[in-house]
């Protein structure tokens, strides 16, 4: 895909991550875009805010998009490599593409998704890396809880 477009979509996910951080939450954000580029849903991790372990950034964006008959051509944009839970979501629903801010601080299931035909656009975004590095340093127990480590 067009790198400038991927960058502009990533900015939406980054804004979600920063909103989550400002709420005292885990700074991971995501957004789901339709095949025509429409923003279908956006969200961020809300483990802390809602006391809900099931709301990862990607599942929040997926939920916000509401019921869709098909995910063909859609793109999930996330600030961080998707964990197995969120990678499973992408595979099960046939989301076509995943744009990832970084996979330096956490390497999830995006290689597995690529093997199964999902297009992966992986950035090494310095702002995304710095945001997660700082969060993991300050709140390691919360980060480990969020990924079941």
Q: What would the two tokens of residue 53 be?
A: 């372990």
Q: What would the two tokens of residue 15 be?
A: 């804004």
Cβ atoms of residues 57 and 44 within 8 Å: yes
Task: Establish if 86 lies at the interface with a second copy (CB under 8 A).
Answer: yes
Q: Hey, which residues between 35 and 64 contact a second copy (CB under 8 A)?
A: 47, 51-54, 59, 62-63
Distance, CA of 129 to CA of 103 (rounded, Å): 8
Please, which residue, 5 or 49, has the CB nearer to a second copy?
Answer: 49
Task: Establish if 115 lies at the interface with a second copy (CB under 8 A).
Answer: no
Among 24, 37, 38, 84, which residue sits at the site for a second copy (rule: CB under 8 A)?
Answer: 84
Residues 6+ apart with CB under 8 A from 99: 1, 6, 9, 10, 13, 75, 76, 77, 78, 121, 123
Residue 119 appears among annotated catalytic residues: no
Task: Establish if 93 lies at the interface with a second copy (CB under 8 A).
Answer: yes
Binding site for a second copy (CB under 8 A): 47, 51-54, 59, 62-63, 65-71, 83-89, 91-94, 109, 145, 147-148
Residues annotated as catalytic (active site), given as ranges? 58
């Amino acid at each position: 895909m067009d790198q400038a477009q991927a960058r502009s979509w990533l900015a939406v996910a980054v804004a979600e991550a920063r909103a989550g951080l400002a709420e005292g939450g885990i700074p991971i954000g995501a957004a789901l875009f339709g095949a025509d580029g429409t923003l279908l849903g956006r969200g961020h991790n809300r483990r802390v805010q809602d006391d809900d372990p099931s709301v990862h950034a990607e599942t929040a964006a997926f939920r916000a998009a509401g019921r869709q008959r098909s995910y063909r051509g859609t793109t999930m944009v996330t600030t961080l490599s998707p964990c197995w839970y969120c990678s499973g979501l992408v595979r099960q629903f046939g989301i076509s593409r995943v744009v990832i801010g970084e996979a330096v601080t956490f390497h999830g299931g995006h290689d597995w998704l690529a093997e199964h035909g999902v297009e992966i656009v992986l950035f090494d975004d310095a702002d995304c890396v710095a945001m997660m590095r700082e969060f993991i340093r300050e709140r390691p127990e919360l980060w480990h809880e969020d990924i079941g480590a």
